């Protein structure tokens, strides 16, 4: 137990076990943030930090947007909590209806969660339940993709494909296979937008089907643009092929759009951007612009109707799933205000209009020290560095630490620097991001 004196010391960093952070190094060299507005954070030492990562791929509307802040404040005073099991409040329905118009095709139903991880596990569970509901109960196998990130629940890490996120945690879900990832620096390094090479990798699904038979496969889940691994835009034609193969075999296609939904690509969703229609879409992050934790799983009418039909008598619960905080009033108010801001301020269109400038600026870093690849799509980007021999990840880590000292917040994954500014970003901010990053790369060596 910490002594009372130590525990109450304002600068005691010991008790908080930080997520996805080297705790020992951080606590010796903390980077503490006090406040945020628009494109900038302010560190506790008063320095202004340019946010090149929209927090954690989520603050799409920029920090402390007055209309979103006001909506949350008002909601907290009016209705702090209402259960969503057996009861509900009107804003939950209003938000679901609004989302149904935002997502393409018949993605007409929203199941609310509190995070991307919960959205992924919810999507997987709905896929399994649906197959069973339509008499296809042998379809239990789930297919993910190498290097995929689907959050940290047991479902998400099982279909996910990042080794460190899996190797510590036992045998995970059984009955999971993985498609190959789509990055191959020999063939697609320094692609601008979608690489020309790699659509054939979707055909690997046929190999998995041949191995297990389609009658045992429930769903395929992929990020349309792999984000957390360091921005892998899908090869041209890849998602279309995946859709064709899944459809042919009665396999559901789930898009994990926790990063790509709500404007990141310059459209409401990647499904719309790539014009590929999935059966289920998992979202979170940008739904509330990061202000209140919330996720939404968009589900096709076909799936929803089948689940209702299979539900038995009218007084029977159709899906035994949900969270205490599903459709939390504060989250619903934040999401409704956020969607309004996206629309009124034209932020999706703004992201689309800025994407070519973003691409040009990022690829300007091609000659900087140790840069082995640059990738971009929409307002997402990645700069991949050669690892230091025997010390993978260290070069990008040092770059992130140095960038913060110079007033820039970056996100890193392995030796890749990932970038995703708020959609309110101006051209001058993009210039600043690139200039600061170039300086960091030269200094970090």
Residues found near ligand PLP in the complex (CB under 6 A): 57, 115-117, 120, 149-151, 223, 227-228, 256, 258-259, 284
Q: Shortest approach of ligand PLP to residue 325 CB, angstroms?
A: 13
| Identity of the residue, 89 or 121, whose beta carbon is nearer to ligand PLP in the bound complex | 121
With tokens 């960038």, the residue in question is 403
| Identity of the residue, 209 or 222, whose beta carbon is nearer to ligand PLP in the bound complex | 222
| Identity of the residue, 120 or 352, whose beta carbon is nearer to ligand PLP in the bound complex | 120
Handedness of CA 438, 441, 444, 445 (dihedral sign): negative
CA triple 168-326-54, angle to 5 deg: 65
Measured CA to CA, the distance from residue 245 to residue 210 in angstroms comes to 12
Handedness of CA 203, 205, 211, 217 (dihedral sign): negative
Handedness of CA 304, 308, 310, 316 (dihedral sign): positive
Q: How far is CA 51 from CA 63, 310, 313, 316, 421, in A?
A: 9, 48, 52, 48, 6
| Identity of the residue, 102 or 259, whose beta carbon is nearer to ligand PLP in the bound complex | 259
Q: Shortest approach of ligand PLP to residue 160 CB, angstroms?
A: 8
| Identity of the residue, 351 or 361, whose beta carbon is nearer to ligand PLP in the bound complex | 351
User: Which residue minimizes CB distance to ligand PLP?
Assistant: 116
Q: Shortest approach of ligand PLP to residue 57 CB, angstroms?
A: 6
Q: Shortest approach of ligand PLP to residue 136 CB, angstroms?
A: 26
Measured CA to CA, the distance from residue 358 to residue 380 in angstroms comes to 9
Q: Shortest approach of ligand PLP to residue 55 CB, angstroms?
A: 11
| Identity of the residue, 182 or 370, whose beta carbon is nearer to ligand PLP in the bound complex | 182
Give the distance from CA 393 to its chain's centroid.
21
Q: Shortest approach of ligand PLP to residue 304 CB, angstroms?
A: 22
261 close to 269: Cβ distance less than 8 angstroms: yes
| Identity of the residue, 160 or 209, whose beta carbon is nearer to ligand PLP in the bound complex | 160
Closest among 216, 108, 229 to 160, alpha carbons compared: 229
Q: Shortest approach of ligand PLP to residue 128 CB, angstroms?
A: 18
Measured CA to CA, the distance from residue 145 to residue 326 in angstroms comes to 28
| Identity of the residue, 51 or 256, whose beta carbon is nearer to ligand PLP in the bound complex | 256
Q: How far is CA 79 from CA 91, 115, 293, in A?
A: 11, 21, 17
Q: Shortest approach of ligand PLP to residue 366 CB, angstroms?
A: 26
H-run or E-run covering 402: helix 394-405
């Amino acid at each position: 137990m910490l002594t009372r004196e130590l525990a109450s010391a304002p600068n005691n960093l010991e008790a908080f076990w930080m997520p996805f952070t080297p705790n020992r190094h951080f606590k010796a060299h903390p980077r503490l943030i006090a406040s945020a507005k628009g494109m900038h954070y302010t560190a506790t030492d008063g320095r202004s930090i340019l946010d090149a990562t929209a927090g954690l791929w989520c603050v799409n509307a920029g920090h402390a947007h007055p209309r979103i802040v006001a909506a949350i404040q008002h909601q907290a005073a009016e209705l702090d909590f209402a259960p969503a099991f057996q009861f509900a409040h009107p804003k939950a329905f209003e938000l679901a209806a609004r989302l149904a118009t935002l997502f393409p095709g018949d993605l007409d139903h929203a199941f609310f969660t509190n995070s991307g991880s919960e959205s992924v596990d919810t999507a997987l569970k709905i896929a399994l339940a649906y197959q069973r509901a339509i008499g296809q109960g042998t379809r239990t196998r789930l297919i993910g993709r190498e290097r995929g990130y689907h959050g940290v629940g047991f479902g998400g890490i099982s279909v996910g494909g990042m080794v460190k996120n899996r190797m510590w945690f036992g045998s995970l879900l059984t009955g999971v296979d993985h498609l190959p990832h789509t990055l191959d620096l020999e063939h697609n390094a320094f692609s601008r937008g979608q690489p020309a090479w790699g659509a054939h990798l979707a055909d690997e699904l046929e190999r998995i089907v041949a191995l297990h038979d389609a009658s045992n496969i429930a769903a395929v889940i992929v990020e349309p643009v792999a984000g957390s691994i360091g921005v892998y835009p899908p090869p041209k034609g890849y998602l279309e092929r995946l859709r064709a193969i899944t459809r042919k075999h009665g396999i559901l296609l789930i898009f994990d759009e926790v990063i790509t939904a709500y404007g990141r690509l310059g459209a409401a969703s990647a499904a719309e951007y790539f014009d590929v229609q999935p059966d289920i879409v998992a979202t979170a992050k940008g739904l509330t612009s990061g202000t209140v934790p919330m996720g939404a799983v968009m589900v096709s009418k076909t799936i929803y109707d089948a689940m209702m039909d299979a539900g038995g008598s009218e007084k029977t619960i159709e899906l035994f799933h949900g969270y205490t905080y599903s459709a939390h009033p504060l989250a619903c108010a934040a999401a409704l205000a956020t969607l309004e801001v996206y629309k009124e301020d034209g932020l999706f269109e703004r992201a689309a209009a800025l994407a070519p400038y973003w691409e040009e600026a990022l690829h300007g870093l091609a000659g900087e020290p140790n840069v082995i690849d640059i990738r971009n799509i929409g307002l997402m980007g990645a700069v991949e560095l050669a690892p230091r021999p025997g010390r993978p990840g260290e070069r990008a880590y040092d770059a992130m630490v140095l960038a913060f000292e110079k007033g820039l917040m970056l996100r890193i994954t392995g030796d890749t620097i990932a970038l995703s500014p708020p959609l309110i970003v101006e051209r001058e901010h993009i210039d600043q991001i690139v200039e600061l990053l170039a300086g960091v790369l030269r200094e970090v060596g």
